[in-house]
Amino acid sequence: MPRKTAASSQQDSLLEEFQALVNDTEKLLQHSASLAGEQADSLREDIRGSLSRARDTLQQAESSLREQGKIAVDATEDYVHKHPWQALGLSAAIGMLVGLLLSRR
């Protein structure tokens, strides 16, 4: 359960970062004609900050997903090494089920 909560939290954080990025970009587009000098520079810095945070969040999410994938692969390999006949039977059953489903089309 903690993994789903952590993934959900990262997903929410990522969505918030992208929403902030979109809002900042919209502000820049709306005010680009009227802003000059220091105001434009301030808005550009805000957008750069939002982009940087979004990029960092994406990298964290990617590394988290890679780690979870590696854990799943390791667990599967461990199970197959400990229980080869069960894994073979399960694979055959899944293959037969997929074959039956495809033959009905």
> What tokens were used for 86?
């069960």
> What tokens were used for 58?
């994406």
How would you write the pLDDT of the chain (105 residues) with one tens digit per residue?
A: 455 566 667 667 777 777 777 777 777 666 665 666 777 778 777 777 877 777 787 788 888 888 988 999 999 999 999 999 998 999 999 999 999 999 987
pLDDT at 97: 94
Q: Which amino acid does the sequence have at 76?
A: T
Domain ranges, residue 41: 2-103
Q: What is the pTM of this model?
A: 0.52
CA dihedral for 26, 27, 33, 38, sign (positive or negative) = negative
Q: How many domains does the chain have?
A: 1
pLDDT at 36: 66
pLDDT at 35: 63
